[in-house]
Amino acid sequence: MATLSSAMGPAFCDGMQVLDYGCGAARYAHFLRQRLDRFTYFGFERPGSLVKRGERSIDAAKAIFRDDDRVHVDLIGASLEALAIERANIALLGSVFTHVDLDEMRHILTKLMPIISRRGQIVFTIFLADEHRLEDPGMYGFHDCYGRSFFTTSQLASLASALALRLTESDSYVAQDGNLHRVFRADLLASDAKTGG
């Protein structure tokens, strides 16, 4: 969480509004509470898995943070998600793209583009390799979720170009499962930032 926060640069500060996509039980909200006084946190999990993982995670987060009016959590697709996209200046996707295919990655980035268009940023982790591969379908009880998803640098560059995103690799970390997570920040290309579009 510290590595992901560092990737945000000066945007990690009091007053930040963050959308945590694939939030689990909102661990990042706990991280924020230990470091900032003023923030707004929106956390979302995917519903509908065979094991109801998303629903159980959101129920747990609601119980943990029930007395903190800075923390708001719900399922992806709920009305709160539209509000979060409208208000957030940072979207965080820690270990989301490491479990989805290229079409889903494109779909998620496209959905979060209003944050980028307001000169916000998206911070995400990804597994990069010499060849694209999707391993162990069925992760978390979804047929289209994978144990590990590896993408090539050219796939990532093509997607960034199609969405007019500037990608900056900030750091990496090895998770407890031994996988190397590469951390990127996405924001507007310099030319778009100057013109506002």
Looking at residue 191, what is its pLDDT? 58
Domain CATH for 174: 3.40.50.150
- For 110: left if phi > 0, alpha if psi spans -120 to 50, otherwise beta; the answer is alpha
Torsion of CA 88, 157, 97, 48, to 10 degrees: 80
For residue 97, give its domain range.
2-195
Looking at residue 192, what is its pLDDT? 56
Q: State the 10-residue block means of pLDDT for the chain, 197 residues long.
A: 96 98 97 98 95 96 98 98 98 97 97 97 97 94 94 97 96 88 92 51
> Please, which contacts does 63-66 make with residues 24 or more away whose CB atoms are closer than 8 Å?
64/25, 64/26, 64/30, 65/26, 65/29
Place of tokens 């519903």: 47
The model's pTM is 0.93
Query: Based on the structure, what is the number of domains in the chain?
Result: 1
Looking at residue 195, what is its pLDDT? 47
- In whole angstroms, give the CA distance from residue 69 to residue 164: 35
3-state secondary structure of 172: strand
DSSP per-residue string spanning 21-81: ET-TTTHHHHHHHTT-SSEEEEEEE----TT-HHHHHHHHHHHHTTT-TTEEEEETTSHHH
Residue 24: Cβ within 10 Å count: 19
Asked if residues 44 and 24 have their Cβ atoms less than 8 Å apart, the reply is no
Rounded (10°) angle between helices 102-111 and 153-162: 30
Looking at residue 95, what is its pLDDT? 93
- In whole angstroms, give the CA distance from residue 105 to residue 102: 5
Beta strands 90-93 and 16-21, pairing class: parallel
